[in-house]
């Protein structure tokens, strides 16, 4: 688990089923008495571990595959990354819609976290012994950042197992009650985000969001490409800073955020780090 080591990455696709909660009907879809949660897991395929776990929540009308480049890079840095496909929000098996099942998305995240940790603890052929259940972060993009924020900071939604939060492209100040609890957060904002006014979002972060926090502002950046498209000029920097933040909070290497600050300063045309 040495910081800076790059691992080969394997990918596991599985489906977890929670029979205790239903999926709402939508359009021609009649609903279901259970929740099917197809989940993609990226992991270091050269063994070792146990590694920290990063739970990732996707945005509206997309699936984890949209973030494959980002999530595989995080896994290569020595993390197990698990990303469920959320019913209805993703457009599977119906939708996409944000109007139904929203409160269920937090429970979906808790459930998949438990199932993935269980695979590690059960001696699963692929993930057996791979995850340290005491080092868990939650991350997300757009609507997924809302899920990550709730999972980390909101009463009745937070997961006590989470040690750090990464939020990409969301205005956290519009999301309701914030319970400061000492969990560190990395919030990445784009100055030309089509859905989240930058001035409003960064203003709330600076005045309300409690330390420890790191705020990465992306210049001349939009809502999705910096997190989904490796060809976007911000993508590599976002990936590096995210890994530095995770290394700092989950691997006990606070010096990595110093190097992140240097990295951002060397790319001042792309970003700034508070």
- Alpha carbon distance, N-terminus to C-terminus of the chain: 28
Instruction: Establish if 2 belongs to a structural domain.
Output: no
Domain that holds residue 13: 9-273
Nearest to 115 by CA among 39, 48, 46: 39
Check if the beta carbon of residue 82 is closer than 8 Å to that of residue 54: yes
Residue 118 neighbours by CB under 8 Å, 6+ apart: none
Instruction: Establish if 79 belongs to a structural domain.
Output: yes
Instruction: Establish if 121 belongs to a structural domain.
Output: yes
When divided into structural domains, the chain yields a total of 1
Instruction: Establish if 124 belongs to a structural domain.
Output: yes
What span, in angstroms and rounded, lies between the C-alpha atoms of 22 and 108? 11
List, for residues 187-221, the tens digit of each pLDDT value.
999 999 999 999 999 999 999 999 999 999 999 99
3-state helix, strand, coil in the chain (%, to 5): 30, 25, 45
> What pLDDT, on a 0 to 100 scale, did the predictor assign at position 4?
79
Averaged pLDDT, 154-181: 96
Task: Kindly state the helix (H) or strand (E) to which residue 107 belongs, with its residue range.
Answer: helix 104-121
Average pLDDT, the chain: 97
Which CATH number belongs to the domain containing residue 101 in this structure?
A: 3.40.50.1820
Instruction: Establish if 1 belongs to a structural domain.
Output: no
List, for residues 170-182, the tens digit of each pLDDT value.
999 999 999 999 9
Instruction: Establish if 3 belongs to a structural domain.
Output: no
Per cent of the chain over pLDDT 70 is: 99
What band does 1 get if pLDDT is binned at 50, 70 and 90?
A: very low
**Angle subtended at Cα 179 by Cα 222 and Cα 209, rounded to the nearest 5 degrees:** 45
Task: Check whether 5 has a pLDDT greater than 90.
Answer: no
What span, in angstroms and rounded, lies between the C-alpha atoms of 93 and 114? 23
Tell me how crowded residue 168 is: count the other CB atoms within 10 A of its CB. 30
């Amino acid at each position: 688990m040495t910081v800076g080591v790059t691992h080969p990455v394997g990918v596991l696709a599985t489906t977890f089923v929670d029979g205790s909660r239903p999926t709402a009907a939508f359009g021609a879809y009649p609903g279901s008495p259970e929740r099917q949660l197809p989940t993609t897991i990226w992991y270091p395929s050269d063994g070792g571990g146990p590694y920290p776990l990063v739970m990732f929540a996707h945005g509206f009308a997309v699936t984890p595959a949209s973030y494959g480049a980002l999530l595989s890079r995080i896994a290569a840095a020595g993390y197990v990354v698990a990303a469920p496909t959320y019913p209805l929000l993703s457009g599977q098996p119906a939708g996409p819609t944000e109007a139904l099942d929203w409160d269920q998305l937090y429970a979906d995240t808790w459930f998949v976290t438990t199932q993935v940790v269980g695979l590690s603890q059960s001696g699963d052929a692929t993930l057996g012994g791979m995850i340290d259940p005491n080092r868990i972060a939650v991350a997300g993009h757009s609507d997924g950042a809302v899920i990550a924020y709730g999972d980390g900071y909101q009463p009745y939604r937070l997961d006590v197992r989470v040690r750090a939060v990464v939020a990409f492209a969301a205005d956290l100040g519009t999301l309701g009650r914030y319970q400061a609890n000492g969990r560190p957060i990395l919030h990445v904002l784009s100055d030309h985000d089509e859905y989240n006014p930058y001035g409003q979002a960064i203003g709330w972060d600076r005045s309300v969001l409690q330390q420890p926090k790191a705020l990465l502002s992306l210049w001349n950046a939009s809502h999705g490409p910096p997190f989904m498209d490796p060809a976007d000029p911000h993508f590599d920097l976002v990936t590096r800073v995210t890994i530095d933040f995770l290394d700092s909070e989950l691997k006990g290497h606070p010096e990595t955020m110093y190097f992140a600050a240097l990295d951002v300063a060397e790319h001042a045309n792309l970003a700034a780090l508070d």
